[in-house]
Amino acid sequence: MSQTTPIPIIRGHGLKRYYQRGSETVKALDGVDIEICTGEMVSVVGPSGSGKTTLVNLLSCLDAPTAGELSLEGKQIAGLAEDQLARVRRGTLGFIFQKFHLIPTLTVAENVELPLMFLSRPADRKATLAVLTSVGLANRADHLPKELSGGEMQRVAVARALITNPKVMIADEPTGNLDKATGEAIFSLLRNLVKDHSLTVIITTHNLALAYQADRIITLEDGKIVKEEGGRL
């Protein structure tokens, strides 16, 4: 029985991100080639200053490369205007951050539905509850953030990223503010989303034990990829 060939959803070639710091040219990313396939979970690791956040910011259209080619779903996005990049982000990408960024006066359900407002899409409470069920929070829909644990707040953030049906989830240190057990639970949740929804997840983390639970680990040093290896050890 033949295996299906993985389809790259993100391709980057010769990606560079340089900026000036006084008279010094900082090479935050210095010629990176990368492919990430649909339904793949990829961890990006490396020491502070290695280029992790810079790479993820480029792949998520939050920043533009100084040089190089970048495509998403086969469409070139390097060089697009900011309004065009914003449309790409809103239609294709979901974001989870280290800080939860929940609105304290809104309920869990209302926090989850917030991105729909920016897309001019009506909220559907049935769909909201389905997303909350997928992250194990169906019984918390009407609670305020102050009534939640840290792990529950991060699950709300995951649900908020899922509500727009993204194809790619960008998770920047999503377990950084969580204890070990809760961080492992969030990582497990993300793995299940990859499996159940063919979601592509790109995650930065300093936690190597968690990183190796991804399908692939990319290690950066000094703005370059120095190692790629399989995970799930």
Could you read off the pLDDT of 67-93 as tens digits, one per residue? 999 999 888 887 788 888 887 787 788
3-state secondary structure of 149: coil
The alpha-helical segments, DSSP class H, found in 67-207 are 82-92, 108-118, 125-134, 150-162, 180-197
Distance CA 200, CA 217 (A): 14
Tokens of 61: 């259209």
**pLDDT for position 1:** 46
| Spatial separation of the C-alpha atoms in residues 140 and 186, rounded to whole Å | 17
For 96, phi and psi rounded to 5 degrees? -130, 130
Task: Select from 5, 110, 13 the least CA-distant residue to 59.
Answer: 13
The arrangement of secondary structure in 38-63+81-230, i.e. its CATH architecture, is 3-Layer(aba) Sandwich (3.40)
- Supply the pLDDT for residue 5: 64
Beta-carbon contacts of 117 under 8 Å, excluding residues fewer than 6 positions away, are none
Region of 51 (left: φ > 0; alpha: ψ -120 to 50; beta: rest) is left
Whole-prediction pTM value?
0.86
Q: From 59, 53, 47, select the one nearest 15 (Cα to Cα).
A: 59
pLDDT at 4: 60
H or E, element range at 54: helix 52-59
Task: Supply the pLDDT for residue 177.
Answer: 76
* 8 Å CB contact between 153 and 108: no
For the chain, residues with pLDDT lower than 50 are 1-2
